[in-house]
Amino acid sequence: MSIDTQASTQAETGKRRLDSLTPNTKLILYAYAATAAVLLAGALLHPGFAGWASLRAMLIVASFIGFVAAGQMLVVLIGGIDLSIPWVLNSAAIVFTTAGLGQSGRLPYAIALALCVGAAVGLLNGLGVAWLGVPAVVMTLGLNGIMQGLSLGLSGGLTCSSCASYAPEPLRRLVQGDTQLLLWAAVAVFVTVLLSLTRFGRHVYAVGNSPRAAYLAGVPVRSVTVTLYTLSGVFAALAGITLVAYGGQASLGLGDPYLFESIAAVVVGGVSILGGRGHYIGVVAGSVTLVAIVTLLQAKQVPEYGRDIIYGLVILAILFTYGRDREHD
Amino acid sequence: MLMVSGVSKSFGGVKALRDASFAARPGEIHALAGENGAGKSTLIKVLCGVLRPDSGTVQTTGELATAFQELSLAPDLTVAENLFLHDPPRGRLGLVRRSVLAPRADELLRRFGVDYVDSRAVTADLSVAHRQIVELVRALATEPEILVLDEPTAALQESQVAWLAGHMRRLREQGCCVVFTSHRWREIEDLADRVTVFRNGSHVTTREKLGEAEAVTLMSGRSIDRTYPRLPPVPAGADRTLTVSGLRAGALREVSFDLHRGEVLGVGGLAGQGQADLFLALFGARRAAGGTIQLAGRPLRVRRPRDAIRAGIGIAYVPEDRKSEGLLLPMSVRDNLALGILDRLSSAGLVRRSAERAAVRSMVTQLGIVASRPMTQPVGTLSGGNQQKVLMGRWLLTDAEVLLLYDVTRGVDAATKHDFYQLIAQLAERGKAILLYSSETEEIAHLCHRVLVLREGRIAAELAGPVGDAEQIVAASMRERR
Amino acid sequence: MKQALLVLTGTYTTYLLVYTTSLGHLPTPFDYLSLLNTCLPLIFVAIGQSLVVLTGGIDLSVGGIMSLGIAIIAARGGTATAALTVLIICTACGVLNGLLVARGRIAPILTTLATLSIFSGLALRTLPVPGGSIDPGLRAVLTHPDVPTGLIWLGAAVGGWLVLRRTRFGMRIYAVGSDEAAARATGIPVVRVKVGVYGLCGLCCGIAAVLYVSATTSGDPNAGMPFILTSIAAVVVGGIAFTGGRGSALGAMAGAVALTLVTDVLFFAGIDPLYQSLFQGLFLVVAVLLGSGAVLAGNRRRAAA
C-alpha cells in the first residue's frame, strides 16, 4: 500500500470514514473523546492526575458505577428505567455481610445468596413491567421502597449482631487489587458479547427500537424484558458485594448515589435514553468520565458544593454535545 | 388562495409526496381524491404546517383552519375548553370566565345546530362522532378564509354529513376556500366544484366534472402502462393450505375462505372494511374474537406472532401513512433480514456470523436489494422500495409457506413495483400460498387468482381472477346494500 | 382523578379503622391539622411535579430546588423577606429547567438530573451544615396558635390549581401534553408553555421550602432530596399519565395525602417504622394496579352501556 502524502486527500478519506461510521460507533467515539478531554484537563491542571497510580484508583472507583450502569443500560436499551438500584444494591450488601459473617469459608455461599437477592428483585421488576403492564418508573420505584423497608426492618436498622461483620478477607484483597479491574473487564466482555454477538442481543435492540415491529418479527418481547430487568438486579447486587468488600462493612444508604450516577454514566456513554441505541463500551467511558471529574475536583480541593455544581454543568455540556433528542418529524 | 408547488416528503425512505402540486381558489369546494396512501393526509399536514416538506413551497393567503382525521382535541379538557383553546373569554386578571365559557360554547354549538353535544362534558367521554363534530365546529367557528377537512365524514352518520355539507356550502358562498378529502365518492360528487386526484404522492389531474368510473381509473392508475406478469395457474387439486372459518377480529365480522398452495388470493374493498384486522388476526398480532384457522388440515391456534411464525406464516405489513411496522429502521439491513431466522443461525445462543452473512447476501442478491453496505447500513437509509424488499426478504428466509402481504407496494416507484409483481408470481409458482392486499385495486385485479371483496367486515363478493379490471372490484365494494 | 379518590378513600378508611382501634376514639381536629401540616410540603411539590408530568416531562430537580430554598431561608435568618426571595429564586431555577428542556431539546429526565446536581451544590454552598435559624414570625406560617393556617394553605393549593386550570395557560398545558405536534399545529406556543410549567414547578418547590422550614424550624441543605421520589410517587398514585395530557393535580394532592396517611396507619398499627418504606413501596404498586384495574373496568362498563 502506498502512502498518500496529499493532506487534503487524507482529510477527505478521513471524513468519508467518519461519515461511514454507524451512529452507534460515532457515539462511542464521542464518549471516549469526553473521557480524554476530562483526563487531559486533569493532567494539565493537576500534575500526576493521568499517571497510572491515579488512573488505577479512578478505574476501581469507576468500576462500581460500571456495574450498576451495566444493568441500567440494559433496561434503558428497551426504553425502560430501573429506579430500584439503590436498595437492591444496599440489600445485597447487607445480605452478603450477614451471610458471610467475615468467614472465608462462607464466601461462595454469601456471594451466591446476595446475587440471588438481586436476581429475584430484578425478576419481580421485569414481571411487573412486562406482564402486569405497570410503568417501569412505578414498578421499580415501588420495589426500591420495598427493598429499603425489608433491609432496614430485617436488619433492625443495621443493628443486628451479624450486620457489623466485615467482608471476608480474601474478597477484600481481591477487590482492592487488580482483580476488581479484571472483574470489570469480564463484565464488559460479557455485556458486549451478549449484546453484539448473540441472538438475545439482537432481540434487545429490536425491542428497543420498536417493540411493535419486534413483536411482529416474532421476538419474545416479554421474556426479553424480564431477562433484562433480572440482569439489572444482578448487576446492582454485584456492585453491592464489591462495594462492601472495598469498604469493609455494609452501611445504610450505600446505594443512594448510584441511582443517578448509573443514569448519567449510561447517557454520557452515548446510550439513547429513548432506547434502542448504545453499547457498553461507551458506558465504560461514561463511568470513567464521571469519576475523573469528581476526582479532579477533589484533587483541586474544590469543596463539595463546587463539585456538585461543576459536575452538573459538565453533564449538561456533554448532553448538549451529543445527548440531544433526534430532530422531530 | 392556497397553492402548493413541487412539494416532496419522505418518511424514512418511503416517499409520501413526490413533487406534488395543488391549488385551490376562494369560493370553491375542492375535493382531494385518491386511494389510501396516495398522499392526501400527508399533503394536508404539510398544508397546515404540522409537517415540514423536504422540498417545495406552500403559499396561503388568509386565516387557515384545519380539522384533522386523528382528532387534535385534548381528551381531558371539556368540550367548551377545547372549543375556546385559542381565545377563551377572559375577564379581569386574564382568568378564563368559566361562567361565560360554557354558555358561550353552548351558544356556539347551538349556532351550528349541534345542541345535542354537552359543552360541559369531558371530551374523552364523547363518542367518536361527537368528538369529530366538536373538532369540525372548532374549525368552522373561526370563520376562516381557507378551511381544510381531512376525512371529515368518516365517523359521521348520514344526517351529520348533511349538516356538514350545509356549512361547507355556506362558507363557499362567503368566499371561503374549502378543501376536503373523502372516501365516499357520492359526497365528492355532491359537494365538490372541482376534484383533484392524487396517486402515489403526485398530482394526477384537476377537473370540474369527473365521473366515478373515470375517477376510479385515475385513482387506481390504469392509465399508466403497467405490465403484469402472467400468473401460473393454480395446479388442479392443489392442497388447501389455510382454511379460515368464521373469523372475527376488530372490524372483521365474520370471514371464511380457503387458500391453496400456489394461489394468490386478493383481499379488496374500500379502506377500513376489516382488511388490516384480517391480516393481523391471521398472524396472531390481533386477538381473534371467534372463528377457527386450519393450516394444512390441522387446527392452528395463533395467540401471538411467534405461533404463526413457527407454523410457517410470514407477514409483510405496511400500514397507512406510516413507516413499515415490521422494520427496525435504525438497525442494519442484516439485522432486519436475519431477525426471523436467528434461531437457525445461532448455536448456543451465539449468532454464527458467516452463516448469517451468507444468508443475508443471498437474499440481497435474490431480491435485488440496493444497499451499499448491507451488513451495517441502517434500513431507514434505504429507499421505500428497498425497505419493503427487506421486509419480504425476512419472510422468504424463514421459508414461510403462507405469506400475508399487506400493501407491500405502497409508496414504491414503478420499477420496484414491477419487481414485486414478478416476485409474487414466482413465489406462487414455487407453491407458496399468498394473501394479498393492496391499496391499489389495480394490483389486486391483476395479480390474484381469486379476489375476496370485504365490506363492513364481511365478504361481500368473491370474484374469479385475474379480474383484470379494477372497476369490477370497486363496483363490488361500493354496491350499497339496501 | 377517579383512581386517586379511590385510593385516598381506601387509605382514609384504613386510617380511621386503625386509629380508632388503637386509641379508642375518632381522630380529633388537632390530629387532622397536624397530619395536614406534615403533608403540605409534599402536596406543593406534587402539584409542581404533576404540572410537568402533564406536559409529558418529569422533573428530578425538585429536590435540588427545594433544598436550595430551605438553605437560603435558614442561612438568612428565616425572615419573611428571605422567604419571598426564595420564591423568586426557585421560580428562576424552574424557568432555567424549562428553557433547557424546550429550547435545548434535551430529554427532561436528563436535563433535570444535571440541574439537580447544580441546585444541590448551590444549596450546600448556601448552608454547608444543617442548622441556621428561623424567625418565629415565619414559623407562624404553618403553626399559628389561633388560625388553622394549614387549612388556608391547602385551600390555596386547591384554589390555585382550580384557577390555573381555568386560565388559557392551564388549558394549553393539557393541549401540549395530549399531542405536542397537534398543539404546535393549532398555533400553541409550546416553548412558552413548557417554560411556564417548569417555572411554576419551581415556584411550588419554593412554597414547599417555606412550609418545610416553618414546620421543622431549622434548615438542612439536603432536606429536599426525599421529595424527588415521593413527589413522583404522589403523581403516580394520583393517576396522572406519564405520557402527558391526562390527569389532574388534585389527584396528585390526594396522592400526597394518601402517602402521608400510610405512614400514620403504620404508626397506629404499631408497625416498626423501619418497615415504613416497605409498605409505601407496596402501596405504590398496589395502588397503581388497583387504580388502573378499576379505571379499566369502568371504561369497559361505559363501553358496554
Query: Tens digit of pLDDT for each residue in B214-238?
Result: 877 787 665 445 678 888 888 877 7
Q: Subunits with at least 3 CB pairs below 8 A relative to chain B? A: A, C
Residues of chain C with pLDDT > 70: what percent? 94
Domains B2-220 and B240-478 share a fold: yes
Q: List the 113-132 stretch of C: residues with Cβ below 8 A of A.
A: 113-125, 128
Query: Chain B contacts of C171, Cβ < 8 Å?
Result: 74, 77, 81, 85, 88, 96
Compute the mean pLDDT over every residue in chain A, rounded to the nearest whole number. Answer: 88
Is B50 close to C181, i.e. CB distance below 8 A? yes
Query: Chain A contacts of C229, Cβ < 8 Å?
Result: 83, 141, 144
Is C242 close to A306, i.e. CB distance below 8 A? no
Residues of chain B with pLDDT > 90: what percent? 32
Chain B CB within 8 Å of residue C305 CB? no
User: For residue range C172-191, what is the model confidence (pLDDT) as tens digits?
Assistant: 999 898 878 777 777 789 99
Chain A CB within 8 Å of residue C77 CB? no
Taking the domain C2-293, which CATH number applies? Answer: 1.10.3470
ipTM, interface predicted TM-score of the complex: 0.86
Q: Does domain B2-220 have CATH number 3.30.70.920?
A: no
Cell of A1: 500500500
Average pLDDT, integer, range A237-254: 90
Question: Could you tell me the sign of the dihedral formed by the alpha carbons of A123, A128, A134, A139, in that order?
Answer: negative
A146 vs chain C: nearest CA distance in angstroms?
A: 4
In a mutational test of the C interface, the residue from A268, A315, A327 whose CB has the highest number of chain C CBs within 10 Å is: A315
**How would residue A329 be classed by pLDDT, with cut points 50, 70 and 90?**
very low
C84 vs chain B: nearest CA distance in angstroms?
A: 22
Is the model's pLDDT at C198 over the cut of 90? Answer: yes
User: For residue range C15-25, what is the model confidence (pLDDT) as tens digits?
Assistant: 999 989 888 88
**How would residue A85 be classed by pLDDT, with cut points 50, 70 and 90?**
very high
Is the model's pLDDT at C305 over the cut of 60? Answer: no
User: For residue range A102-160, what is the model confidence (pLDDT) as tens digits?
Assistant: 888 888 999 999 999 999 999 999 999 999 888 898 899 999 999 999 999 998 888 88
For residues A89 and A70, give the distance between their C-alpha atoms in angstroms, rounded to a whole number: 13
For residues C142 and C78, give the distance between their C-alpha atoms in angstroms, rounded to a whole number: 14
Q: pLDDT at position A18, please?
A: 52
Average pLDDT, integer, range B364-381: 87
Q: CA-CA-CA-CA torsion for B445, B446, B450, B454, nearest 10 degrees?
A: -30
Is the model's pLDDT at B94 over the cut of 80? Answer: no
Query: B466: cis peptide before it, omega within 30°?
Result: yes
**How would residue A10 be classed by pLDDT, with cut points 50, 70 and 90?**
low
Identity of the amino acid at C21: T
Q: pLDDT at position B387, please?
A: 87
In a mutational test of the A interface, the residue from B52, B327, B342, B352 whose CB has the highest number of chain A CBs within 10 Å is: B342
Chain C CB within 8 Å of residue B92 CB? no
Domain ranges of chain C: 2-293
**How would residue A22 be classed by pLDDT, with cut points 50, 70 and 90?**
low
Q: pLDDT at position B443, please?
A: 87
In a mutational test of the B interface, the residue from C2, C163, C165, C168 whose CB has the highest number of chain B CBs within 10 Å is: C168
Q: pLDDT at position C105, please?
A: 84
Q: pLDDT at position B457, please?
A: 87
Question: Could you tell me the sign of the dihedral formed by the alpha carbons of B177, B178, B181, B183, in that order?
Answer: negative
Q: What is the DSSP letter of C255?
A: H
**How would residue A13 be classed by pLDDT, with cut points 50, 70 and 90?**
low
Q: pLDDT at position A4, please?
A: 43
Residue of A153, A152, A88 lying closest to A124 (CA atoms)? A88
Q: pLDDT at position A6, please?
A: 46
For residues B309 and A244, give the distance between their C-alpha atoms in angstroms, rounded to a whole number: 48
Chain C CB within 8 Å of residue B98 CB? yes
Angle at B112 between CA B106 and CA B117, to 5 degrees: 50
Is the model's pLDDT at A9 over the cut of 60? Answer: no
User: For residue range B66-83, what is the model confidence (pLDDT) as tens digits?
Assistant: 887 666 787 778 899 888
Is the model's pLDDT at C242 over the cut of 50? Answer: yes
Chain A CB within 8 Å of residue C298 CB? no
Q: pLDDT at position A20, please?
A: 53
Burial zone of C31 (CB within 10 Å; 0-12 exposed, 13-18 middle, 19+ buried):
middle
Is the model's pLDDT at A325 over the cut of 90? Answer: no
Q: pLDDT at position B12, please?
A: 60
Residue of B351, B310, B168 lying closest to A205 (CA atoms)? B351
Hey, which of B86-100, B379-393, C188-202 has the most confident mean pLDDT? C188-202
Is the model's pLDDT at A173 over the cut of 90? Answer: no
**Which domains are seen in chain A, by residue range?**
23-322 (1.10.3470)
Chain C CB within 8 Å of residue A136 CB? no
Cell of B341: 431466522
**How would residue C302 be classed by pLDDT, with cut points 50, 70 and 90?**
very low
E strands, B234-344, where?
Answer: 240-249, 252-260, 264-268, 290-295, 298-300, 313-317
Compute the mean pLDDT over every residue in chain B, rounded to the nearest whole number. Answer: 85
- Lowest mean pLDDT across A271-280, B243-252, B389-398, C290-299: C290-299
Q: pLDDT at position B324, please?
A: 63
- C168: nearest CB among B73, B90, B98: B90
For residues A282 and A287, give the distance between their C-alpha atoms in angstroms, rounded to a whole number: 9
User: For residue range A37-81, what is the model confidence (pLDDT) as tens digits?
Assistant: 999 999 999 888 888 888 999 999 999 999 999 999 999 999 999
Burial zone of B249 (CB within 10 Å; 0-12 exposed, 13-18 middle, 19+ buried):
buried
Is C163 close to B95, i.e. CB distance below 8 A? yes
Per the CB < 8 A criterion, the answer to whether C170 and C178 are in contact is: no
Q: List the 220-279 stretch of C: residues with Cβ below 8 A of A.
A: 229, 232-233, 236, 242, 272, 274-279
Domain ranges of chain B: 2-220, 240-478
Chain B CB within 8 Å of residue A329 CB? yes
Per the CB < 8 A criterion, the answer to whether C258 and A122 are in contact is: no
Chain B CB within 8 Å of residue C287 CB? no
Q: Does domain B240-478 have CATH number 3.40.50.2300?
A: no
Is C114 close to A312, i.e. CB distance below 8 A? yes
User: For residue range C256-275, what is the model confidence (pLDDT) as tens digits?
Assistant: 999 999 988 998 888 888 89
